[in-house]
């Protein structure tokens, strides 16, 4: 695969502002673990190799257990995720796989049982943001691992 174009270079101010917004979200009340899981799951669903690579490495650096990363595609069947993580992953899937139907009230209530209004809003921003990054990565075929040194992801010792 060859990267189609260097989108940060083509629109540097937009990239910088969007990256700053993403960084601000990473420091939300959700915590790094939940933030990482949501970004990885959305990237899996969207087939974004660059983002999946990046956020898996970030999760490892943040202390995430590898087995949980392996179980993420089958989180519903796995005993490794708690109720809050399950609600976040279900919300992530619903908002990533928009199919022209409204999000079910039962799913919203499940999320609200685990997150207060501020947290659910922050979670939704994280989901919206990673979906936008995924579209950039998929559309322009961003190369997995190409930004490891810039972002310090080589510290994950994954290659």
d(CA 153, CA 122): 24
Helix ranges (H only) for 62-104 are 66-71, 83-96
The residue ranges of the chain whose pLDDT is under 70 are: 159
How many residues are present in the chain? Answer: 159
In the chain, domain spans: 31-141
Pick the CATH number of 31-141 from 1.10.286.10, 1.20.1290.10, 2.30.130.30, 3.30.450.20: 1.20.1290.10
Q: What is the pLDDT of residue 147?
A: 80
> In degrees rounded to 5, what are phi and psi of residue 40?
-65, -45
* Vertex 117 angle, CA 115 and 118, to 5°: 95
pLDDT number for residue 153: 81
pLDDT in tens, 104-128: 999 999 999 999 999 999 999 999 9
């Amino acid at each position: 695969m060859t990267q189609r174009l260097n989108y940060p270079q083509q629109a540097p101010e937009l990239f910088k502002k969007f990256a700053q917004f993403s960084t601000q979200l990473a420091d939300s009340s959700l915590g790094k673990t939940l933030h990482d899981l949501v970004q990885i799951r959305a990237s899996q669903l969207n087939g974004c190799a660059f983002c999946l690579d990046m956020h898996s490495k970030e999760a490892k650096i943040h202390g995430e257990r590898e087995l949980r990363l392996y179980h993420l595609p089958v989180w519903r069947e796995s005993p490794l995720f708690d109720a809050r993580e399950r609600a976040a992953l279900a919300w992530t899937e619903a908002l990533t796989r928009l199919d022209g139907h409204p999000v079910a009230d039962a799913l919203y209530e499940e999320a609200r049982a685990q997150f207060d209004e501020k947290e659910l809003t922050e979670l939704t921003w994280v989901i919206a943001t990673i979906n936008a990054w995924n579209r950039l990565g998929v559309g322009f075929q961003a190369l997995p691992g190409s930004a490891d040194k810039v972002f310090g992801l080589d510290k994950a010792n994954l290659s």
